[in-house]
Chain A
C-alpha cells in the first residue's frame, strides 16, 4: 500500500482559496501560507508502535461557520449539559457559536473571546503567542492546523488578576464535512491566577471517518498559576490528535488535569516547558481504553530553569482489545540544577486482550537533580475483590469501586465537583458500568 498524505485529503488549491478570503492581519495570512507549504513536506509525528500514516482521518472537509446563538438552549442537544461555568465559549465545527463572560471579569481586563476576533482586535497580544509554544513546522498535523484553523478561544488574564471561578470552552463537532481544529490560547500575565476547563465532544454518528486536530497553548508568566482541565470525549468515528503545551516562566505554575475519554483512536501530547527558575508543572491524566481503540499518550516535562519541579501521574484503565502506549518523558536540560522531576504511570487491565505499555523515560543532562519514575501494569486485585464481595457487594459494583479508587488520585484533584462528577460519569459510561449511589 502506498503511503500518501491524501489520507488527510488535503486539497491545496481550496486551502489557498480559503486563505485568500480571510480578513485577517498580514502576519497570520503569511504564516498560514508558509504552513501550507509545510503540509506538503513534513512527515507524520513519529510514534512508537503507532503508524499514523495508516489511520483514516477522513476528508479534511471545509470551513463551516456556526450560527452565533444567544442562549445555550439553542445549541445542539446535549451540549448545554457539559457547561459547568458562567464564563463559557462554545465552539461548534469551524467557529464559535456562543460567548459569555461576566461583566465583573470584563471589568478586570480579562479577555475571553473567539480567537478569530482576538487575532483582529488584539493582534499585538495574540501575535507573540499564537503558534509559538507549538510550532507549525513540527509535523504534518501541526502544519495543517496552522494552515486551516479557524475559531477557537483566546483567554488573556492581566497582571495580578486572580480569577476565582473557572472559565470554560466547549468544542462540539456535529457536522460531517466541517473542519474541526479547536485552538485554545491562554496568556496568564505575571502573578495572575486562573482555572480553565476544556471539553471536546462530537455528535456525528458511528459511521464515517472524521478527525479533530486540536491545540492548547498556555503561557504562564512569572508568578502566575494556571490550572487546566481538559476532557476529550469524541465518538468512535473521530480520530483525535491533540497537542497541549505550556511555557512556564519564573515561579509560575501549571497544573494539567486531563481526561482522555474518547471513544476512537487518539494521539495526544501534553508538554510543559519549564523555563523559569522556581517554576513547576503538575500533570494528572486519566485514560480509558475500550473496544479496538488505539491510544498514544505522551506527557512530557522539559526542565530548563533552575530549581524547577515536575510531577506526572497517568492512570489508564484498559478494556476490550484496546491498546495504549503511555509515554512519560522527563527531560532535564544542562543548567537546570536543583530540579526535581517525578513521574508515575499505572495501567489497570480489565481484559486479557487489552494492552497497555507504560514507557517512563528520563533524559538528564545535569548532575545536581532529583528524578524518579514508577510504572506498573496490573489487574484488579483478587483479594480486594473478595474483600468487597464478602460484604455483600456484587462483583460488578465491587469492580466499579476498585476502578474508581484507582482513578481517584486524579479525580480528587479536580477543583470542581461538577467536573469530578462529569469525569466519573464518562468513565462509568465508557466502561459500561452503572453508576452507584
Chain B
C-alpha cells in the first residue's frame, strides 16, 4: 500500500492554550511538503502533536497513517508505524551511547530473536555516518551530549537514515548547519527520497529548499495552513517576507494568540 498520512481538523492545546486550530494536510509517499511560517505559529507544535509528545493534548481532529489511527497510538507505536520526527531541539542523554541507542531503535522494529547482529549494525551505522561526514567517534559518544547544534542535526538525520521511516518530519533541520553541512544533510535527505516515503519539512529558509526541492509549500499562521502553493511560493516568501500573505488574508496577528 502506498504511504499516506492524513491530518484532518487537528486541534491541540498545551497548558490550557490552544495552539493548533484546525490543521489539515495530506502527505502521500513520494511527496515533499514544506511548511513555512513566522515564529510562534505552531509549526513545532504540529510536529510534536503528530509524534505524541505527552505535553500536547489533541482536543479534536484525526490523523491516520495508511488508514491506521495515529492518535490512538503511544509515541513508540507511532514511530514503529513509520513516523519519524527530526526534532528542533533533540534531547541529550548522558550515559547512553549513540550506538547502543540506535541499535535499540533498530531492534525495536524487528521481531524478538531476529535482532540485527552487532557487526552488521556497526557496518550500517559506519557507512551512514560516512555519508553524513560524521566523525566515527560519534558512535561512542553519549547521545547528543555536548554535541554542537549542527552535530545534533546531523545525528537526527543519521537516525532517520538508519530507521527508514515512511513519513519523516524535519523540524528546522537546517538551523545551526554551516554551508557544507547543509548540503551534506540535504544530500542525506535526497538519498532517502522514495515513492513510499513522504516528507514534511519545516523551515524558515528557501536555502534548504534549493537543495531539497519541495512539491508543495504551505504557509502556517495562527495554528493552521493559511496558504499553499508550489516551490515558487517559498521563493516569494524569501524575497518579500510574510506581510503580503497577511495583507492578502486580512491577518493582523499571525501567532497563535494570547487567549
A160 interfacial by beta-carbon distance below 8 Å:
no
Query: Roughly how many angstroms separate A384 CA and B94 CA in the complex, as a whole number?
Result: 10
> Which residues in B have some Cβ–Cβ distance to A below 8 Å?
51-54, 74-76, 78-80, 84-85, 87, 90-91, 93-96, 100-105, 107-109, 115, 118, 142, 159, 163
A291 to chain B, nearest CB (A): 25
Query: Roughly how many angstroms separate A436 CA and B104 CA in the complex, as a whole number?
Result: 8
Q: Does more than half of chain A's interface fall in helix, strand or loop, or is it mixed?
A: helix
A401 interfacial by beta-carbon distance below 8 Å:
yes
A390 and B51 form a contact (CB under 8 A): yes
A371 interfacial by beta-carbon distance below 8 Å:
no
A389-424 residues at the B interface, CB under 8 angstroms: 389-395, 397-398, 401-402, 404-409
Q: A391-B108, A393-B108, A437-B118 are in contact. List 14 more A-B contacts (CB 8 A).
A: A384-B93, A387-B91, A389-B74, A390-B79, A390-B87, A391-B79, A391-B84, A392-B163, A394-B76, A401-B101, A405-B95, A405-B96, A409-B95, A437-B103
A382 interfacial by beta-carbon distance below 8 Å:
yes
| Contact among B78, B80, B142 for A405, CB-based, below 8 A | B142
B75 and A386 form a contact (CB under 8 A): yes
Q: Which residue of B lies closest to A382 (CB)?
A: B54
The range of chain A's interface size is: 20 to 34
> Which residues in A have some Cβ–Cβ distance to B below 8 Å?
381-384, 386-395, 397-398, 401-402, 404-409, 436-437
Q: Which residue of A lies closest to B96 (CB)?
A: A405
A392 and B54 form a contact (CB under 8 A): no
Contacts of B96 in A (CB 8 A): 401-402, 404-405, 408
A56 to chain B, nearest CB (A): 37
B154 to chain A, nearest CB (A): 16
Q: Which residue of B lies closest to A400 (CB)?
A: B104
B79 and A405 form a contact (CB under 8 A): no
Query: Roughly how many angstroms separate A383 CA and B94 CA in the complex, as a whole number?
Result: 13
B101 and A388 form a contact (CB under 8 A): yes
Query: Roughly how many angstroms separate A231 CA and B108 CA in the complex, as a whole number?
Result: 32
B139 to chain A, nearest CB (A): 15
Query: Roughly how many angstroms separate A418 CA and B107 CA in the complex, as a whole number?
Result: 24
Q: Which residue of B lies closest to A396 (CB)?
A: B76
Contacts of A394 in B (CB 8 A): 76, 108
